Every structure is written in C-alpha cells, then in structure tokens.
Amino acid sequence: MNRGNPVRDSRSLDGAWTFALDPNDVGLEEGWHEGAEAWPADAKAVDVPHTWQEDEEQREYTGTAWYRRTVHLEEDEIGDRRTVVEFGAVDYETTVWVNGQTVGDNRGGYLPFELDVTDAVTAGENSIVVSVFDPDDLSEIPHGKQGDPWYTRVSGIWQSVSLRFRPTTHVTRASVTPDLETDSAFVDIEIESGADEREPGDVHVEARAVRNGEAVAIDSRTVAEETDLLLAFDDAQYWSPDSPVLYDLEVTLTAGGETIDRYEDSFGMRSIERDGDQFLLNGEPIRLRGVLEQGYYPETLYRPPDPEQFDREIAVAKELGFNLVRKHVKPAHPEFLRSADRNGILVWEEPANPLRDTDRSRDEVKTQLRDLVERDYNRPSVVVWSLYNEEWGIGHYDTEETLWTDETKQTYLASLVQSVREWDATRLVCDNSGWAHVDTDVNDYHRYYVSPDRATEWDECLTHLLHHRGDNFATRRWADPDPDPDPNPDPDSDSESDPPVMISEFGTWAMSDPTANVGRDGGDPHWYSHDFLVDRMKRPSGVEERFTDTDLEDVFGSLDALSECWCDRAMTSIEHVLGEIRKRDEIAGFVMTQLSDVEWEFNGLLDYARNEKSFHDDFAAINDDVVVVTALDSHVSWGGENRHLEVSIVNDTGDPIDGDVEWRFGDAGGRRSVTIPPHSVETLEPVEIAIPSVETARTESVVARLESVTSTGETLDRDRERERDHELERKATEPVTVVPQQRRATADVTIFARGVLAARLAELGFDVTHTLTDDVNLAFTANVTDRVTNFVADGGTVVQVPDRRGEMAANEFFEFRSLPPTESWTMAASLLYQNSTLLDGICSTPHLGWEFEDAYPRSVVTNVNLTTDTVHVGYVEGWLAEWSSPLLERTTENGRIVACAFPVRTAVLSHPVLTTLVIRLIGRSIDD
C-alpha cells in the first residue's frame, strides 16, 4: 500500500496473475469471470505487465485472453472512499469484472483508463478478472507498426495496474498552462463532488508550485467561486533541455479546516512556438536535433525491460547530440515522459495510426488524441503533437484516394488539427508527418537518400524543397491566413506564413553483427522469421547461409567484419546527409531514423539491445552544438589539378563563437579568423587546394578545424566538463582520391567502340575501330547483339556498358535490375562492396565511397553465378538479400563478357576514377 498521500492510497496490482487463452470465445459462457473453479486446466501464471506475444506458443495468437487475480482489502483501506482500478494500457478491447460483477470496459491499446469499483469491492478477498480481445484484423484499429509488414504484435495488459482509493470529493484533473510573458501558470482544475452533502462553498481549493520543498507560488479560492487558479512566480525558472527545472504541483481540497483531498503532479514553465523559419523555445531560437525512437525491446516488446531503461535511453540520446526524441506512431510510455521531464529532452509525440480511413478509424484516432493530450498536458518535454504519419490511415491504403487529391480527407484533417489546437494551444501540431500537408506548424519531409551514391541528388532535393515549400501542401486553404484568399490557389506557391521546414525522417542502415542476435532458447530471435516478412531484405532468417553462399564470406571473412564495413559505410553516408541539412540554416530541424534497431530494421545508431555501434563517437562529434561541415567541389581529382574546399561553421548555441578555422592538405594549409553569431551558420569563401602529382592512385584527406574558441556560457565539450573560455577543437575531414594524369596508351590493342566512348578512347591513344571484326581484342558495347554474342563464342572479350539513358539492356548472358535514381528506402539499406585488383589504390575501404562520386551505377546484374563469375563489386540489400553486381566478369566456354554498370560511356577523361577503371579493364584483357 502506498500511503505517501494522507488522503489518497494506492495498491499495485502488478505481479502474479493467472492467464488463459480463449480461442473459442467460451470464457464468458463458462463463467470465467465468476470464479477460479471455472478456469481451464491449462491456465498459467504470468507477471503483469505482460504481453502474451512474449511467450513463443502465443506469439501468433489473436483473439480473446483472460487474466485473473485476487487482492485482500482491509475495511479501513476502503472506508468511505471511492475505489477505482486503473490500467496504464491494455491492448485492445478490455472488459473488467470485480467479484463477478461487470465494472466496465475500454477500447484502445495505448492510454490509461480507470473504472470505479466502489460498489463491487468488499473487505476481505476480492477477485479481479480482465478479458482482453485483440482482433486479427487491425486495419481500422490504431496499431502503429504492430504486425504485417513491420514488427511483432502486442496484446494484453502491457502497462501497470493499480487500485486507487480517493475521497468522495476529489480532484480528477489539474492542467497547468504556463505563460512566460507574465511568469505565471494557469491551473485548470476539475473536481468531482461526492455524496457527502457538502456545499461547494464549503470546499476550499488551493494550488501550490513547490521547488526544492518550498512553495514558490500559491493561489486559492472556494469551489463555489471557480476552480481555475493562477500561480504567479517572482523568479520563474524555465524548463529546457539544458536546465530541466520542474515544479511540484500540489492541489489541496479542504473543508472545515480538514484536508479532504490532495492531488499531486509536476510541470515545467516552458513555451514552444514557430516564428518565420525557426522554432522558439522559451522565446529563444532552437534548432531541433531529433532522433526517432519506437519503444520496442527484444524480449519485452512495448515494455521497458527494467525501471532505468528510459533514463539510459535519454542519456544516450543526449550524449549523441540530440535535443529531441520523436516517439514514433504510438503514444510514449508515461514513464518515458517523466524521464524526459527530469533529464531534459524534448519529445515529439504521436498516436498510433490505423491502416484504413473509415468512420471507425477516424473516431478512434480522435479519441486517442484527446486522451493523449489530456494524459500528457503537464509534461513540459512534449512540444509537438503529430496526428498522422505518411497518410497511414488517411489515404495510404492501396484502394483509397490519397490525401493529395481527396478534398473530403483534407477537410477532415484540417478539422482534426483545429480540435487538437483547441485542446492544447501550447504545443506545435503536425497534421501528417512527412507527406502531404493541409494545416501544420511543421512543414516536414521524409527523405531517405544515401550518400555518396546519391549525394548530388540529395543536394538538389534540399535546394528544391526550400525554394518550393508549397509543393509539400495538398491544399493552401488552411495554410494561408489571408482573409481574402484566392478561390483557386496555386498549391505550389509559397507563403510568408509557411511553417518551418524539418527533415523529420532520414537515415542509413548499419548492420551490427548478426551472430549477436540470440533468442531466449539460444537460437535465432523470434522476429527472424515472421510469416509476413515476405520481402527478402526484411527477413533475417537464413542470413548466415546467405553470407556463405555468396562471395561475402570470401570478401569479409566474418559477419563481424561485414558489420564493421557496413557501419563505416553508414557513417560516411550520415555525415554527408546530415551535414547538408545542418549547413542550411533555413532548415529548422531534423529527426534522424533512428535511435536503435528494431527487430529486422537495422537503421539504428544503437543495436536492438541498445548497445553502441562502432561509429557511436564519430556520430556524436558531427551532431554537437557546434560543428564544422565541409564540402569539396569534387572528391576525385587528377594529380596536379586544383580542388575547392567550402567550410561551414554551425553554431546551435545561444552564445557567439570567436575562433580560427584552419585547413590542411598534406603540407599545405591556411587559417582564417571567424566570429559566428548565436544560432547561425557561417559559410566561408571557398579555399583553393592544389592537388599534388602522383605516380599511383591513392586517397588523401583534407582536414578543416575550428580552433581556439573563446566565449562564455555553457559547456561545448561533451567529453570533459570545461567552459568555453578553454581551448577546444571541432574538425571535419574530406577524402580526395587522386589519380595520375593519364599518359597516351602504348599497348598494342584494337578496341571496338562507338559514339562518345570511342572518341575518348581514341583520345587516350588506343586503336579504336567501329567495326567488330576478328582483329578486335576488346569490345565495348551497350547492345549485346547476335554479332557480339558470336564474338564472345569465338573467344573474344566484351565489356557491356550502359546505354545513353544509363540503363543496362538484358541479354542472353545477364539479367539486370535498375536501382532507384533518387530517394529510396531500399537504397538506404544497401551495401556496395569490393575486393578487386581493378580498384587497388582507388577504393580505400571494402565499401564504395566518395571515389565514385557522381559515377555510381544505376543497374546491377541479378543472375550472378560464382561458378562462372568474378564479382569485382557486389551489392546486397538489408539482410543480405538481392545479391547482385554492377561490375562482374563472366567466363564462357571460349570467351569472356564483363558487365560494367558504372557510367563509363561518358566518363572517360572527365572522371579520373572511371577513366582508370576502363584502362584497367583494357589492361586486364591484354594480360589475360
């Protein structure tokens, strides 16, 4: 019994319950709600909180299940108070009986509900029985990412249960609305009057804000007057991630000098608003540096494995440089929010979404949102409400018209936004995260670009969306406050009232060692082989066999080495993608996907068990308050040329920075003094870098540092507690692949080629012919005709290259698959790797990198055969699926044909690396 409150008590009902499945739905008919004697023999003990999918034999079960326990109550516990049973969350439809008497039901899987059991409980032993129904069909039910095609289902009493004893007249709610302009807080109090025959004028209500045990603001009045109180602060302390000051709220009801109820909560003095292109926290600019977090755990699913879990997660998120967590497509666990309040991190919260748009699904989303706002209104950490994600449940379903074109959906969504703003005017509202907007405070985008594969396309994407913000709105009817709007507005036009831009989803997959994934029985985890994981890239089952059945084992030797390579590739991509966001101060913030892996989706900064990945510290360095972002006009150069380095300094702090920017490349370098204002980005004039002549291809590094920072204020260095007036360093490194200037060819070789490739090979000094004859040593062609096929059969060597459109044409030797040209979630989950002498000195890592800038392949060979093929560059997606190659060599009975999907046709002479690759392919044909 918790007796911390003199007039309220509570009794935890967590712990041992009896549990039974009811697949034939006979429990009610057989009287399971009436007594233990009616329960089936196979009922078993479980610990609540509990999700039945934690047990292997129940993992795929949908339908009805029952819980039962008893609790002994003393007469003085019950007294003349009200008794309620409170559930933190039960998924999905719940009916409750106490001592055989129905006391109520609830529908919803994520939020608390309570049922008054005063008339059902008695002194002595009491039976509490709960029936939970979770249907197989989730399409109209808000369920987030449970089940097909995502993660394990969650059903049952997955949050805590308690009995609560309250006075008959008691406070049911106290919502605190801070006003930082007046340093006051408005307290809206709801009181339920009991049957104790007191008149409202007899009851006095008092609200107190308490800090460090001392009341710092008090207001009171009689209930007969009103129950809205105002707390005025002489020296209000504002809540922020850097200073998470909380006040204890105490609301007391008294009558006749006697305390009849005390209600307790906490709150913070915090404001959030948008102002032009930026967000303001407590009236000061803030750039939101967020990370997506889904609240799934390997063994306990929605439940945290221990009470310290949320504190650890928030500590790691802050260590990695984030000031915000986006809790993805389901309400945050209430204890996570309490931890966020205490430890200081902002939260973007959103409901679980359904799959389909129906009257029922709309009603359930709205009810869920209303309850979510009410539950978390006093949590200062929560600063954003989302309503939908990517049109899930409002147009994303295959047979539905999308939000982009459906005016009925647009009107409904705008109305829901208005409702949420009426319920809570203190937070930002995002109508439909990432996709078509209607009325929003956050103009956010979900963009999964991978770099350097699509580095140029990412730069172009950001430039376009910032110049055409209206493109992200399905309609401007609600976005423009003009009292006399254009009756036929242009949906692509921008407006001065457009909300700040955020990139609220982006990221790159980074496989951690799969051999570390072990289930309870020592075998594969249960999520390795969900029936709905039909997409091979999402299916972990068989990953070790795929590793050995391809060339991956020959290249890497172990899955651990492959993981290290993949993490390095991910960091390369993330550094550029994030840097392009951060150096554009028109972008008000971002949310990266994601804090940890979740089941098969390994795009986390941590693995599923919340262990660090190999690039943990490197990521923290590029996501700090102050960072150096660099860019080269090209990461590939002929020896003896000049390159240009652009340096941007990002200052997300509230203090100016004075320092020196130093750059170095080999023995050359330079230094410039800079002053960076608070909350700003400064980009320096490009620096010219002389690339030395080289004899062999190699990769060098350009390093830019921000040094000798002198300022005052908060700590910049995360690793050591030191103030800014001490010296510190921020740096960025850019690789440059330097290739020797090409000398004229001297090899005695005749090459067949046509078009621009023929001209450039001839310019290099090769003997080029436009006719495929027996005198040809090597043929380059985009079309494998019968003549080409016969040439190979007669012992010739052919290199197939992309056509004018950059595509590879299928033929009797090769089948091809095109890769997405721009944004792609699957490309973000891919790995291009190599272990080829053709790339000696060119590739400095086993994965492809900046050496192929603007020259990545757009197709891959899918019918790879290790018996006949030499794979020079391999390609996989996700859990080692879609094994293929953009550069392989196939030996036939007499000849040889190479598939080269790199854009060599127009790159010879203009791209040093591809020029070198072509020359090496030619040399290989001669040597053989």
Q: Nearest 5°: CA angle at 333, between 332 and 335?
A: 125
Query: Do 716 and 781 belong together in one domain?
Result: no
Peptide bond into 49 cis (omega under 30): yes
Instruction: Tell whether 3 is covered by a domain.
Output: no
Instruction: Tell whether 361 is covered by a domain.
Output: yes
Give me the CATH number covering residue 48. Answer: 2.60.120.260
Can you say whether the dihedral through the CA atoms of 18, 24, 27, 30 is positive or negative? negative
Other Cβ atoms closer than 10 A to 575: 22
Report pLDDT digits (tens) over 644-675.
999 999 999 999 999 999 999 998 999 999 99
pLDDT for the residue numbered 286: 98
Domain boundary residue, one of 240, 267, 294: 267
DSSP string, 499-530: PPEEEEE--------GGG---TTSSS-GGGG-
Length of the chain: 928
pLDDT for the residue numbered 723: 40
Distance CA 498, CA 479 (A): 7
Residue 597's domain comprises 277-511+571-620
Cα 208 to the center of its chain, rounded Å: 39
Query: Do 676 and 768 belong together in one domain?
Result: no
Q: What is this structure's pTM?
A: 0.94
Cβ-contact 362, 353 below 8 angstroms = no
Give me the CATH number covering residue 442. Answer: 3.20.20.80
Whole-number Cα distances in Å, 357 to 101, 391, 397, 399, 699: 36, 9, 8, 10, 54
Query: Do 416 and 369 belong together in one domain?
Result: yes
Domain boundary residue, one of 164, 188, 221: 164
Low-confidence ranges of the chain (pLDDT < 70): 1-6, 195-197, 200, 225, 481-496, 708-729, 746, 927-928
Q: Identity (one letter) of the amino acid at 588?
A: A
* Number of structural domains found in the chain: 6
pLDDT for the residue numbered 924: 86
Distance CA 231, CA 83 (A): 31
Query: Do 493 and 631 belong together in one domain?
Result: no
Query: Do 610 and 631 belong together in one domain?
Result: no
Query: Do 297 and 440 belong together in one domain?
Result: yes
Instruction: Tell whether 299 is covered by a domain.
Output: yes
Instruction: Tell whether 349 is covered by a domain.
Output: yes
Whole-number Cα distances in Å, 399 to 149, 360, 394, 615: 17, 17, 11, 42
Instruction: Tell whether 2 is covered by a domain.
Output: no
Query: Do 290 and 378 belong together in one domain?
Result: yes
Query: Do 584 and 463 belong together in one domain?
Result: yes
Distance CA 799, CA 782 (A): 8
Distance CA 369, CA 501 (A): 24
Domain boundary residue, one of 582, 602, 620: 620
Range 153-169 burial, b when 16+ CB lie within 10 A, else e: bbbbbbbbbbbbbbbbb
Query: Do 391 and 341 belong together in one domain?
Result: yes
pLDDT for the residue numbered 35: 86
Distance CA 348, CA 325 (A): 6
Instruction: Tell whether 140 is covered by a domain.
Output: yes
Give me the CATH number covering residue 221. Answer: 2.60.40.10
Q: Burial level of 358, CB count in 10 A (0-12/13-18/19+)?
A: middle
Query: Do 507 and 538 belong together in one domain?
Result: no
Instruction: Tell whether 437 is covered by a domain.
Output: yes
DSSP string, 3-62: -SSSS-EEEE--EEEEEEEETT--TTTTTTTT-GGGS-TT-EEEEES--GGGSGGGTT--
Query: Do 345 and 468 belong together in one domain?
Result: yes
Instruction: Tell whether 744 is covered by a domain.
Output: no
Report pLDDT digits (tens) over 740-755.
987 777 678 899 999 9
Give me the CATH number covering residue 842. Answer: 3.40.50
Query: Do 148 and 254 belong together in one domain?
Result: no
